[in-house]
Structure 1
């Protein structure tokens, strides 16, 4: 028994990839205006905020628990995120390859993946080395520092999203 396949009546006769008739490309002036309205996120500003959050959390943790081991643990947890982030920011913005990546989309994506891999590997190595680097390591403090600095990415995104809405 054969089964016939029919196209539902609500499906358009256009082929895949056909452009909508109401699509209009931007002029050079419109594209420039669009670029001006887009928020610029500095990787280095993000890294600086990560370090500031880590330092503040370390001081607050040390004062609350009146323990230098908690302060050092929080700081090391923060550094386990901030140092790899700084290395990735350097790799993406300051290396000789960054100019090449800026002009080739596929190479830019490959560069991002490369530096993201380096960042993750360094973070894992730093966390694995924590018991030997920080004497009398406080695991809760390390986790608090790590999570707080990781959350800086979200706060940065929320701030930038708020700025772009305010500029619209």
Structure 2
């Protein structure tokens, strides 16, 4: 029989990685909170959607050049872009609307999770419907359009965060 020795709990460190102790924490006043919000406005989801659209258009143009104008390749690439971009537009619309009207963090998070689920279901439905909608599906072109459009969102968010960090004044 194997016995397991109890593990002793370690005390929490007196300071965090930034060197700030719990005693250093001071809540913001209403005016300080307003000033912080003015200096750190929320990011809009729409630039991400437009970067996705631009990259998707580039994929379609590249597919046209590479395939020498093969219609099935161009339509498949475009459909792949649409399968990623259309749900993103719907999701961005919901996020932008929630940013304007929602003050309760718990319900905003719940709505975000629900709409992300809707976005995934819509994306899967569009991908599964491809053979019924397109006369001839070129799966590699469709996948290229889909993947580049999805990755464009990540690249856009990363670039927005880098830009935001470079413009925020350091205290």
Aligned position for 1:87: 90
Cα distance in 2, alignment partners of residues 63 and 86 from structure 1: 27
Cα distance in 2, alignment partners of residues 4 and 139 from structure 1: 56
Distance 1:59 1:39, change over 3 A: farther
> How much does 1:7 deviate?
6.3
Q: Tell me the alpha carbon deviations over residues 140-163 of structure 1, each in whole angstroms, 9 at most, x when there is no partner.
A: 001101110101221122211211
1:71 equivalenced with 2:106 (yes/no): no
| Secondary structure in structure 2 of the residue aligned to 1:21 | helix
Cα distance in 1, alignment partners of residues 81 and 128 from structure 2: 14
Distance 1:27 1:94, change over 3 A: closer
Unaligned runs of 5+ in 2: 15-20
Aligned position for 2:28: 26
Cα distance in 1, alignment partners of residues 8 and 125 from structure 2: 57
> How much does 1:84 deviate?
0.6
Alignment of 1:10-159 (within 5 A): 11=11, 20-38=22-40, 40-66=42-68, 67-94=70-97, 99=101, 102-159=102-159
Q: Tell me the alpha carbon deviations over residues 48-87 of structure 1, each in whole angstroms, 9 at most, x when there is no partner.
A: 2212211121011111121221111111111101101111
RMSD between superposed Cα atoms in Å: 2.8
Q: Tell me the alpha carbon deviations over residues 111-142 of structure 1, each in whole angstroms, 9 at most, x when there is no partner.
A: 11111111110100000011111221110001
Cα distance in 2, alignment partners of residues 160 and 89 from structure 1: 15
Distance 1:134 1:31, change over 3 A: same
Distance 1:21 1:81, change over 3 A: same
Distance 1:166 1:33, change over 3 A: farther
TM-score by length of structure 1 reads 0.79
Cα distance in 2, alignment partners of residues 91 and 56 from structure 1: 26
Distance 1:55 1:27, change over 3 A: same
TM-score by length of structure 2 reads 0.78
Unaligned runs of 5+ in 1: none
